[in-house]
Structure formats: C-alpha cells, structure tokens
C-alpha cells in the first residue's frame, strides 16, 4: 500500500482554489438555453453561490422565500465589465425581459433590489414509437388477494374498488409535462412580479441616470450637493407613478415629462447649475424652479450658449 503523504498548510487565499461556481448542465446542453449568453450563464452560477449567504444573514421574506443581494457594482467588479453589460446580463436572466431564472424586486429609497434565484427543469415527453410492438399475453401465475375476505361460498363479485386517491396515484404522463420549463425555487411561492416604473427599480434607474449625465466627472467640476440634488430630482421624476406632473405652472402627462428628463446629460446639468448661479431673484419654490429648468434644458441650452457667444464677441 502506498504511503499517505500529508501536504503543506494552506496559505493566503489558496483554499479558494477548491471552491467552485456550479452551473447546471442543462444551461449548457438544453436547446432552450442556447440563446442565453455564456456570461449570463456564469452570472447565474455566481447567483446560486450566493444563496448560501441567505441562511447566514437571515434573508427571507414574510412568506419564507429566500432572496439575495448582488448589486450592479458588485457584478461589475466580479465579472470585470461595465455597468451597461452587467445590467444587460441581469436582464437576460430576469423574468421580465429574459429567460426567467431570476426575479428582481425593487425596494426603493436607493436600496439594492432583492434577487430571487429560481431553479428550473426541462421535462420532455419521450418520442412515441412509430409502431409499438404488441405486448405478449402472459397469464398471471400468482396474485395476492390478501385484502379479499375469504368465504367458503364461491362468488363472482370482484375485489372492492380501490379508493379514489389510490387510483390517481399515477396520473397520466401528459399531465406531468411542464409547459413552462422554468420552475420557482422550492421555497418561493408563485406570484406575480411587481411592476415598477419603466420596468426597473429606483436603484437601477439611478445608476442609468448617473451614467447618462457623467456623474463622476460632474462631481469633480460642480459641488457635490448640487450634483446629488439634481440627480435625485431626476430619479424622482422618472420613477414617479403619477399620471400627470406640474411643470412651470402647466400640468403635463407624466410620460412626456419622463421622456424629456431621459434626454438630460452632463451639459444640461452644467447649464442648469450655471443658470442658478446667475439668478439674482428670490426663488420661493426651489423644487418647482429646478423641475422647470431641467425640463426646458434640452430645448433652451442651444439658444442660451449661442446668445452667450454673441455677447462675448460683440
């Protein structure tokens, strides 16, 4: 017998080499998942790995369903990708735009979404044979009638009919075929996904807006409070569930206002901040003033700078 050799100690993060992300085989082999990108499949395995943290941290909702937290920033860091790609991968997996392997529930107030990771199956009916051979008749040599009361008098009455629940213990196979191959995690009860504004939660909307306006660059040019206040105001508008909004004393459809606010970029923010600095009149309702300034920015920024240039050059 060969002698057992004891290895050296583990140093640093060497123990991590024996920790693996598990990706279900069906995600790779089943044709239903062929359109799902390899990165999205890897992300699903990483989300499954995080399920072990739920019990440790007590991440269960009121119905006992397990959920996890995995922010867009964390995904960007772990997968070494940009914010747009991380959100695209989440969209591939979610139950609104993608395959339905996860469900994201927004919490609002800038908090990250809860993520419910779902398990799945792809049960398929086997192909029917073209000409099934007839089963040969074979007499039953021995049958157990232990449940029949024995009598000296012969009778033609058969056994008592079995109970209904016994008859249905093996239902038709066609009833067992799943039309929807995505099955929820066992601890998650089926429910309708919540509908959020624009199909995303506040946290995700905030990240998109930060990207659109060049948030980090603005922080280096403009005082933090000004940038943060305008950012939150834009998020409030886009995530609002109101049917109408008052802008400049006029009531407008909310969708019209949201579309205008989605056009805002870093130049519009600089323009609004600069306009605020040059304003000498007293502003009684600063929120209403900023809403109007932001709404009008995409259509007034051009004439404003054109007039400034003409003024500078006489």
pLDDT over 50 (residue 168): no
Segment of 189-193, 224-228, 256-260, 282-286 carrying the highest mean pLDDT? 256-260
Q: Exposure of 164 by Cβ count < 10 A (0-12 exposed, 13-18 middle, 19+ buried)?
A: exposed
List the domain boundaries for the chain. Answer: 14-122+180-192, 202-312
Residue 14: C-alpha distances to residues 21, 52, 77 (Å): 16, 21, 21
* DSSP per-residue letters across 252-276: EEHHHHHHHHTT--HHHHHHHHHHH
Residue pLDDT, tens place only, 74-116: 899 999 999 999 999 999 999 888 888 999 988 877 788 889 9
CA 43 to CA 21: how far, in whole Å?
Answer: 9
Query: Does 38 or 155 have the greater pLDDT score?
Result: 38
Cβ proximity of 257 and 298 under 8 Å:
no
Q: How many CA atoms lie within 13 A of 242 on its CB side?
A: 14
Cβ proximity of 217 and 270 under 8 Å:
no
Q: Tell me which of 55-69, 114-128, 165-179, 242-256 is least confident.
A: 165-179
Residue pLDDT, tens place only, 290-299: 999 999 998 8
Residue 236: C-alpha distances to residues 233, 240, 266 (Å): 5, 6, 18
Cβ proximity of 50 and 78 under 8 Å:
no
Cβ proximity of 113 and 61 under 8 Å:
no
Gap between the terminal Cα atoms of the chain:
98
Cβ proximity of 236 and 288 under 8 Å:
no
CA 94 to CA 210: how far, in whole Å?
Answer: 23
CA 277 to CA 269: how far, in whole Å?
Answer: 13
Angle in degrees, CA 292, 296, 301, rounded to 5: 135
Answer yes or no: pTM beyond 0.85.
Answer: no
* 264 bridge partner residues: none
pLDDT over 70 (residue 300): yes
State the pLDDT at residue 62. Answer: 82
Q: Where are the alpha helices (DSSP H) in 125-193?
A: 164-167, 173-176
Q: Tell me which of 71-75, 156-160, 277-281 is least confident.
A: 156-160
Q: Exposure of 91 by Cβ count < 10 A (0-12 exposed, 13-18 middle, 19+ buried)?
A: middle
The candidate with the shortest Cα–Cα distance to 24, out of 157, 155, 126, 117, is: 117
pLDDT over 90 (residue 142): no
Residue 263: C-alpha distances to residues 5, 51, 95 (Å): 66, 38, 28
- Give the SS3 label for residue 190: coil
CA 31 to CA 23: how far, in whole Å?
Answer: 16
pLDDT over 60 (residue 213): yes
CA 196 to CA 184: how far, in whole Å?
Answer: 21
CA 240 to CA 238: how far, in whole Å?
Answer: 6
- Give the SS3 label for residue 72: helix
């Amino acid at each position: 017998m060969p002698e057992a050799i004891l290895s050296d100690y583990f140093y640093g993060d060497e123990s991590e080499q024996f920790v693996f992300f598990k990706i279900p085989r069906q995600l790779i082999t089943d044709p239903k998942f062929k359109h799902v990108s390899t990165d999205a499949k890897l992300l699903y395995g990483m989300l499954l790995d995080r399920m072990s943290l739920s019990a440790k941290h007590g991440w269960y909702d009121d119905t006992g369903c397990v959920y996890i937290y995995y922010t867009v920033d964390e995904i960007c860091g772990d997968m070494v990708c940009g914010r747009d790609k991380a959100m695209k991968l989440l969209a591939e997996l979610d139950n609104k735009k993608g395959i339905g392997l996860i469900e994201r529930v927004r919490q609002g107030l800038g908090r990250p979404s809860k993520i419910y990771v779902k398990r799945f199956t792809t049960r398929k009916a086997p192909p029917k044979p073209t000409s099934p051979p007839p089963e040969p008749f074979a007499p039953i040599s021995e049958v157990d009638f232990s449940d029949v009361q024995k009598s000296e008098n012969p009778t033609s009455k058969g056994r008592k009919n079995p109970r209904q629940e016994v008859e249905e213990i093996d239902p038709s196979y066609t009833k067992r075929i799943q039309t929807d191959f995505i099955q929820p995690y066992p601890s998650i009860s089926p429910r309708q996904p919540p509908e959020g504004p624009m199909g995303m939660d506040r946290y995700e909307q905030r990240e998109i807006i930060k990207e659109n306006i060049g948030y980090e660059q603005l922080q280096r040019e403009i005082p933090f409070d000004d940038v943060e206040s305008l950012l939150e105001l834009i998020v409030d508008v886009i995530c609002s569930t109101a049917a109408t909004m008052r802008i400049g004393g006029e009531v407008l459809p909310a969708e019209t206002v949201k579309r205008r606010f989605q056009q805002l970029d870093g130049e519009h923010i600089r323009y609004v901040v600069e306009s605020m600095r040059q304003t000498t009149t007293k502003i009684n309702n600063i929120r209403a003033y900023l809403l109007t300034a932001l709404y009008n920015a995409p259509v007034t920024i051009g004439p404003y700078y054109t007039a400034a240039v003409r003024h500078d050059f006489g």
